[in-house]
Amino acid sequence: MSRRVRLALFAFAGPGLLAVLLIGLHGLPAFGHYRNVYGLLVDKVEPGLRHATDIVTALNFDIRAFDTLGEEFILFASVAGVAVLLRHLRGEEEAEQARGIEDHRFAGASPSLQLTSLILIPLLFALGAYLLLHGQLTPGGGFQAGVVLAAGPLAILLAGRYFALKRMAPESALELVESVGAGGYALIGLGGLIFATVYLKNFLPVGHQGTILSAGMMPINSIAVGLEVAGAFLVTWTEFFDQALIVER
């Protein structure tokens, strides 16, 4: 499409989009005015019903537990797609050849960067573990904990030690973690089907509000999702780094 045709198209479509946007913005409620009943209702019902204090986690793992199942498998499928595509591009022989390289080209990371990474790694793991176990109490939960946990090993790469990372977390182990997380969530739901007659319905005691062992199966769901997300991110990153760092020979 030539520049002139594109400009003509924009001259036609641009004002239309602007008009629709303006009409839409005009219909919005005023800033800070919440008009939805759903949020208020969930806020009222969920603390009493499941003893959770973080309503976002309660939504994800209780009220909309089935949505979360779908989202989890969307992530799982897309990571599998990335892995299949990139491994096909790479080819197995090239990976065999690359085994001789000791460390990648950024190995000359400065001492200050290495020290920063060293400090970051335990902090990220601690934060990730905290978010994973306190999902039903404070902001956090499976997905957030998963991405923070995955960022921990990434700091090893920052320190210029990609192959140390590969040794510590080989791809087969990452895939296992991801699959256990995704499968675990589906299996926990099966517990609901057996003990509470509805798939993914809570079947565990709700415990004492405000403690780690409360809110029924939310903590277990959170751990399953955390494993899945951490595995998914690390598999994706590893695939991309293999492309960028190993196949250069």
Q: Pick from 80, 154, 186, 196: which binds other proteins (CB under 8 A)?
A: 154
What's the token pair of residue 34? 């919440």
68 binds other proteins (CB under 8 A): no
The Cα 246–Cα 104 span in angstroms is 8
H helical segments located in the chain: 3-26, 37-50, 55-58, 65-90, 92-98, 111-133, 142-158, 162-168, 171-196, 218-241
Residue with tokens 């973080």: 54
61 binds other proteins (CB under 8 A): no
Burial group, residue 49, by CB count within 10 angstroms (0-12, 13-18, 19+) = middle
CB 178, CB 228: distance < 8 Å: yes
67 binds other proteins (CB under 8 A): no
CA 132 centroid distance within chain: 12
Q: Pick from 24, 27, 29, 32: which binds other proteins (CB under 8 A)?
A: 32
Query: Which of 195/240 has CB closer to other proteins?
Result: 240
Query: Which of 110/138 has CB closer to other proteins?
Result: 138
Residue 202: CB minimum distance to other proteins, A: 20
Residue 143: CB minimum distance to other proteins, A: 6
Query: Which of 105/208 has CB closer to other proteins?
Result: 105
248 binds other proteins (CB under 8 A): yes
Q: Pick from 54, 62, 72, 175: which binds other proteins (CB under 8 A)?
A: 54
Number of residues that bind other proteins (CB under 8 A): 26
Query: Which of 49/56 has CB closer to other proteins?
Result: 56
How many angstroms separate the Cα of 69 from the Cα of each of 20, 66, 142, 181?
Answer: 35, 5, 12, 11
In the region spanning residues 92 to 151, those forming contacts with other proteins, defined by CB under 8 A, are 131, 139-141, 143-144, 147-148, 150-151
What's the token pair of residue 224? 């399953």
Residue 149: CB minimum distance to other proteins, A: 10
* Type of residue found at 60: N
244 binds other proteins (CB under 8 A): yes
Residue 22: CB minimum distance to other proteins, A: 18
The Cα 200–Cα 190 span in angstroms is 7
Packing angle, helices 111-133 and 218-241, rounded to 10: 150
237 binds other proteins (CB under 8 A): yes
Interface residues toward other proteins, by CB under 8 A:
31-32, 54, 56-57, 131, 139-141, 143-144, 147-148, 150-151, 154, 233, 236-237, 240-241, 243-245, 247-248
